[in-house]
Amino acid sequence: QADLALYAAKDAGRNRLAVYSHPLGEAAEHRLQLEHELRRALDLREFTLHYQAQVDDQGRPQVMEALLRWHSPTRGLVLPGEFIPVLEESGMIIEATRWVFREACRQARRWAGQGHALRIAVNLSPLDFRQADLAGSLLAILEEERPPTGSLELEITETALLDAGDDVQQTLARLKAAGMPLLLDDFGTGHASLAYLQQFPFDGIKIDRQFVAGLPESEHSVALVRGILTMARHLGLHVVAEGVSNERQAAFLRLNGCPSLQGYHYCRPQPAEDLERIWIRESSSSLQPWGH
Ligand code: C2E
Ligand code: MG
Ligand code: MG
Ligand code: MG
């Protein structure tokens, strides 16, 4: 009863801290406060998307990854590392994912309207797979927003698949059948990367940036990245290298046949309008190599 009253007070937006008889630890209070602000942020639409290009071996953008940003009135620009875990633990991630997906659909339509043939990659959280009908909810949004066919893809981290049952298989199959390629994100950092490739219908992998970081000096990184590229080629999988941050890494990856590169070296995550300004400045409907 007392707990319910506390939560009611919280929902009413009163000063919770005053009604706790046992003060929470500082960390827990910080957490609750953040959760409360995030709830407001979802309602007040304080979230935006930034986009980061994945470029081909000529530096031409092919895919834009949508990355969530929170513009907090008090905290300023907040990055996902700080708030995604809170969205996940509170269950708000499901609503956030739907918002991201809808916004990505709209952006795909806008860019197609401007003559840019780009796909948008949306990140899914492991927690998204806990809801009853993830595929149904995304397909409903697709139906409403009607982005151009083939203009979306999905990035899924290995942790999403940890306790995967038949329902995850089915969810992935439905999403893929709806025309969205599936990429295994942060490849190589999970517990069973290779098993997942065997088990699930992935179209590509994103080599985690920890492997790219050591290129080309570290013999270990070189061997691992070459191995991954060879394996992917044999399996017919697309490969994106994450976190490419200098030309030497890029050169190594191109030389070893990595079809797609992403990282600060090519493009920082930024708002759609800033990307459009670059395209307009470079006056093209066909896309030009990325400036540094
Ligand atoms: P991710 O999907 O692996 O995204 C790549 C992260 O690496 C992004 O961080 C990006 O800004 C950063 N990055 C890109 N290039 C470089 C580079 O050259 N060097 C370095 N050091 N970093 C680089 P960001 O935007 O902070 O996102 C972090 C993570 O948060 C993402 O990792 C993803 O797991 C999650 N995330 C972001 N947006 C969403 C979203 O809309 N939904 C969900 N579920 N997760 C999201
Ligand atoms: Mg990603
Ligand atoms: Mg990643
Ligand atoms: Mg990552």
How much is the pTM? 0.90
Cβ(208) – ligand 1 distance below 6 Å: no
Cβ(185) – ligand 1 distance below 6 Å: yes
Ligand minimally distant from the alpha carbon of residue 52: 1
Model-level ipTM above the cut of 0.85: yes
Side chain identity at residue 114, one-letter code: Q
Helix (H) or strand (E) holding 76, with range, is: strand 76-78
Ligand minimally distant from the alpha carbon of residue 244: 1
Tell me the C-alpha distance between 208 and 230, whole Å.
16
Compute CA 43 distance to the chain's CA centroid, rounded to the nearest angstrom: 21
Answer yes or no: are the C-beta atoms of 84 and 68 closer than 8 Å.
Answer: yes
Cα of 25 vs centre of ligand 4, distance in Å, is: 31
Copy the structure tokens of residue 27.
Answer: 């960390």
The Cα-based distances of 30 to 18, 27, 67, 86, 292 in angstroms read 15, 5, 24, 11, 39
Beta strands in 143-280 (DSSP E): 152-157, 182-187, 204-207, 238-241, 260-262
Which residues lie across from 70 on neighbouring strands?
47, 78
Cβ(188) – ligand 1 distance below 6 Å: no
Cβ(243) – ligand 1 distance below 6 Å: yes
Cβ(263) – ligand 1 distance below 6 Å: yes
The protein residue whose alpha carbon is closest to atom 11 in ligand 1 is: 269
Answer yes or no: are the C-beta atoms of 1 and 17 closer than 8 Å.
Answer: no
Count the helices and strands in the chain (H runs, E runs).
12, 9
Q: 216 preceded by cis ω (within 30°)?
A: yes
Cα of 179 vs centre of ligand 2, distance in Å, is: 19
Cα of 262 vs centre of ligand 3, distance in Å, is: 10
Cα of 185 vs centre of ligand 3, distance in Å, is: 5
Cα of 195 vs centre of ligand 3, distance in Å, is: 19
Ligand minimally distant from the alpha carbon of residue 262: 1
Copy the structure tokens of residue 81.
Answer: 């590392």
DSSP state letter for 130:
G
Determine the pLDDT at residue 280: 66
Cβ(82) – ligand 1 distance below 6 Å: no
Question: Digits of tens for pLDDT over the chain (292 positions)?
Answer: 334 434 444 444 444 444 555 567 888 899 999 999 999 999 999 999 999 999 999 989 999 999 999 999 999 999 999 999 999 999 999 999 999 999 999 999 999 999 988 999 999 999 999 988 999 999 999 999 999 999 999 999 988 787 767 789 999 999 999 999 999 999 998 877 888 899 999 999 999 999 999 999 999 999 999 999 999 999 999 999 999 999 999 999 999 999 999 999 999 999 999 999 887 666 444 444 444 3
The protein residue whose alpha carbon is closest to atom 10 in ligand 1 is: 269
